Amino acid sequence: MKIYDIPGQKGPVKSSTGSEKPTGIDFQKLLDDRLHNVSEGKKVAAADPTTPATSVSTSLRLESLALTETAIGTLDSYRSALGNTAIAPEALTPFVDALEEETAGLLNMKGQLPEDDALAHLLERVATVSYLETAKFRRGDFSA
């Protein structure tokens, strides 16, 4: 079954090859027109999202990434310890203490980066997860 009551479309038309071709919007012509208009218009250099807009020292970026990896590793170890029912909740305190220190470091490094930097967003996300996990532990969610 073919549907021909689409606005702007009149129905099938036989092409030179004998197959039916719908009339209406010619998308190839539309694409060609857009490409032609873009090529004639002002050329605007697109910003590369992988490079930061301002210059940030490479050592700060590497240190931030290293701390992020450490925090993610600590979160993973903490997750494993939480899953082990043989471990008492008090034994999780070293993980939580490490997460609190790493959260402070992540936020400190985030403050040294531009707000629109992708690495700053990553640091904020990892710091948020770390903070939430430590807050849940300190609140007593796991000491039942």
Residue 8 has pLDDT above 90, yes or no: no
Q: Which residues of 111-120 are buried (b: 16+ CB within 10 A; e: fewer)?
A: eebeeebebb
Is residue 9 in some structural domain?
Answer: no
Domain range holding 67? 63-139
In a domain, 16, yes or no: no
More confident position, 28 or 107: 107
Confidence of residue 6 (pLDDT cuts 50, 70, 90): low
**With 50 as the cut, is the pLDDT of residue 38 above it?**
yes
Residue 52 identity (one-letter amino acid): P
Tell me how many domains the chain contains.
1
Of 24, 109, 23, 9, nearest to 69 (Cα)?
A: 109
Whether the predicted pLDDT of 1 surpasses 60: no
Lowest-confidence segment of 8-12, 24-28, 133-137 by average pLDDT:
8-12
Asked whether residue 114 is domain-assigned, the answer is yes
The verdict on residue 126 lying in a domain is yes
52-86 confidence digits (pLDDT tens): 445 778 899 999 999 999 999 999 999 999 989 89
Q: 79 or 19: whose pLDDT is higher?
A: 79
Q: What percent of the chain has pLDDT over 70?
A: 71
| Residue from 86, 64, 67 nearest 75 by CA | 67
| 21 band by pLDDT with thresholds 50, 70 and 90 | low
Question: Got the DSSP string for 13-69?
Answer: EE-TTS-EEE-S--HHHHHHHHHHHHHHS---PPPPTTS-SS---HHHHHHHHHHHH
Residue 120 lies in a domain: yes
Q: Nearest CA to 67 among 2, 142, 122?
A: 122
Among 20-24, 25-29, 49-53, 111-115, the least confident range: 49-53
> Is 40 within the bounds of a domain?
no
Which pLDDT score, from 0 to 100, does residue 52 have? 46
Give the whole-number percent of the chain exceeding pLDDT 90: 48
Judged on CB neighbours under 10 Å (0-12, 13-18, 19+), 29 is exposed
Nearest-10 Cα torsion for 91, 94, 95, 101: 160
